[in-house]
Chain A
Amino acid sequence: MSSTEQPALSEYRRREQSITLSPLQEQLEEQEQTSEELLTLNFGPHHPATHGVLRLLVTLQGEIVREIKPIIGYVHTGIEKTAEDKSYWKVIPVIERMDYLSYYFNAYAFCGAVETLLEVEVPRRAQYLRVIHMELNRIMSHLVWLGTSALDLGAISMFWYCFREREKILDLFEMSSGQRMHTRYFQVGGVIEDIPSGFAEKLSGFLKDMPSRVDQYGDLLNGNEIVLQRLRGTCPLDAETLLSLGVTGPLLRAAGNPWDLRKADPYCSYEDFQFKIPVGTVGDNYDRYACRLAEMYESVKIVEQALEGLPEGPHITEDRKVALPPRHELATSMEALIHHFKLVTEGFRVPPGEVYFPIESPRGELGCFVRSDGSSKPARVHMRDPSFVNLQSFSHMAKGAYIADLIASLAMLDPVLGGIDR
């Protein structure tokens, strides 16, 4: 403000300021002290604020949360078991359906583990294409989180804005793979197809728009008194507790620990890109929100660089024992036909061994454990899903808080129940 003088208060404002709620508040505090009674409330499994089929048994004293017990398993579909009955390359579609908002990450964690077992080199073009799709997926996942979280806080318009941008990303996915969700784009050894003509132009258009759109979201929410009051200072948790509970991802970074596997232990050519890791300070709900919002800008930067420096070359490994031969070779080459037949009927065999392959998903460390017994089907596939582990910190966050803060911090936790239950 340039003017130093306070403007004269209108009659309405004066009356508004004269109203005080303090007697009412005193009454409330008194009541809170005297009421010893505990109320156990069943929250979910079907509730718009639980972001999936999550059930919470909440013990309340007045409005204060005293105990939370999460009950999960409602959307358990036995994907890990199903994976043991399929050949390696047929596991990819089911594994993508675990955490249904980060399907590229699920596919990459699994493909990366199998590639490590096979010792297959992935061409650089395929690595860059993977980075482009994973970072778009990260933005998409954060957009869904932002839209639904704002919905929990009572702002319905954010939901439409976020889904408008999400549509654009899904259109891009549809363009490169034919599917909007669960695209099965990543293959063991690379990606299934090179990006089509026109994809790069469409992607650049999106990348040009996106930062200004994130600015708009920030403008809408950061100046909103209700959002700030519900997020600032609510349900903080320090980095040490988070680490002992195994929490990673934006939740940990919000508490000031800059742990990010893309920087700490780069995989898939992440070392080639310049980007920053947004961190928070106190680890309250506002920091969690601000970290994810800032991550969207960084993801845009990564995609820009990957598109700019996209190397020429094959999009999938030339190893015919692992990847399907190109369609045109089947008409002329007997060898290609045999490879095709072997891959489609039996799949490739993987040397025996166990591998744990961790990557940074939008929610934290997503690790895929694959055990091979030498056959063409995995003997064990396990996903260390960040949502599953992060959920343990929820009761630590919300204990002692108001029930309204419980809703806000569940939104800021960003659990995806498909990933929790698998």
Chain B
Amino acid sequence: MWRPETQPGTQRVPDATGLELIAQDLRAGEGAGEAPGSGSPVLETVFFRGRGTLIVDPAKIGSVLEHLRERGYSFMSSLHGVDHYPEEPRLGVVYELLDMHRVERITVKLRLPSDAPEVESVTEAWPTADHQEREVYDMFGVVFRGHPDLRRILMPEDYEGHPQRRDFPVGGEPVIFTFNENESHGVSE
């Protein structure tokens, strides 16, 4: 149920200005801490339907999340993958953060190219990301560097391909009966 922001008690924060302030702080903090020319951690901000999203540089995801944790967004409620096929960079990873004291949510998002879908794992700082990163790896083929146990989680271990990608066909798997059990059932063929 969608509610306009003007209703009392239902205002979604941070508002558009608050989101820009966070982005500004992130940019400033990065400039002071690192060598100049390393680029801004925040590539874009999106404010949509009362909810703010930071689109960040994949190389700096760890430090961005750490900065947001210091601001109070200390609970990671979800981590999931998105496929923007046929756009490039194609794959996306979305982190939903929550501040339980002020009841604010912020979304952090990064985009990865399909030829090298690799990003640093955040499991060490956010233990809840463990299973969820495995699911994104399983479904989209995003490799989380430094994950302690990056295996498939929902699909069988010998499965080929990443089924949640947009170019993966629906219903592409034949049912095995006695008459066709010797035929090849690989999905990639």
Task: Say yes or no for A135: interface residue by CB 8 A criterion.
Answer: no
Task: Tell me which of A76, A265, A267 contacts B1 (CB under 8 A).
Answer: A267
Give Cα distance in the complex from A51 to B48, angstroms. 40
Whether the Cβ atoms of A78 and B2 lie closer than 8 Å is no
Known interface pairs A72-B153, A353-B48; A384-B131 also in contact (CB < 8 Å) = no
In residues 92-142 of chain B, which contact A (Cβ within 8 Å)?
94, 96, 100, 103, 105, 107, 126-128, 130-132, 135, 139
Question: A246 to chain B: which residues have CB within 8 Å?
Answer: 75-77, 127-128
Task: Say yes or no for A206: interface residue by CB 8 A criterion.
Answer: no
Question: B163 to chain A: which residues have CB within 8 Å?
Answer: 78, 81
Task: Tell me which of A78, A116, A120, A367 contacts B78 (CB under 8 A).
Answer: A367
Whether the Cβ atoms of B154 and A245 lie closer than 8 Å is no
Task: Tell me which of B9, B10, B82, B156 contacts A380 (CB under 8 A).
Answer: B82
Question: B76 to chain A: which residues have CB within 8 Å?
Answer: 246
Question: B2 to chain A: which residues have CB within 8 Å?
Answer: 115-116, 118-122
Max chain A C-beta neighbours (<10 A), residue from B105, B126, B127, B156: B127
Whether the Cβ atoms of A119 and B96 lie closer than 8 Å is no
Known interface pairs A80-B164, A265-B103, A354-B82; A384-B154 also in contact (CB < 8 Å) = no
Cβ of B159 to closest chain A Cβ, rounded Å: 10
Task: Tell me which of A81, A243, A268, A421 contacts B164 (CB under 8 A).
Answer: A81
Give Cα distance in the complex from A363 to B139, angstroms. 24
Query: In chain A, what residue has the closest Cβ to B165?
Result: A81
Q: Size class of B's contact patch?
A: 35 or more
Whether the Cβ atoms of A369 and B49 lie closer than 8 Å is no
Question: A353 to chain B: which residues have CB within 8 Å?
Answer: 48-49
In residues 256-275 of chain A, which contact B (Cβ within 8 Å)?
259, 264-268, 271
Whether the Cβ atoms of A380 and B83 lie closer than 8 Å is yes
Question: B48 to chain A: which residues have CB within 8 Å?
Answer: 353-355
Question: B130 to chain A: which residues have CB within 8 Å?
Answer: 392
Give Cα distance in the complex from A421 to B163, angstroms. 14
Give Cα distance in the complex from A247 to B155, angstroms. 24
Give Cα distance in the complex from A72 to B168, angstroms. 22
Question: A112 to chain B: which residues have CB within 8 Å?
Answer: 1
Task: Say yes or no for B90: interface residue by CB 8 A criterion.
Answer: no
Question: A290 to chain B: which residues have CB within 8 Å?
Answer: none
Question: B96 to chain A: which residues have CB within 8 Å?
Answer: 356, 367, 369, 384
The 9 A-B residue pairs whose C-beta atoms are closest, nearest first, are: A246-B128, A384-B78, A73-B154, A122-B1, A76-B154, A382-B80, A116-B2, A85-B170, A119-B2
- A sample of 5 more A-B contacts (CB under 8 A), given A127-B1, A371-B82, is A72-B153, A84-B166, A115-B1, A246-B75, A246-B77
Q: Using a CB–CB distance below 8 Å, which chain B residues touch chain A? A: 1-2, 9-10, 48-49, 51, 53, 74-78, 80-83, 94, 96, 100, 103, 105, 107, 126-128, 130-132, 135, 139, 152-156, 163-164, 166, 168, 170
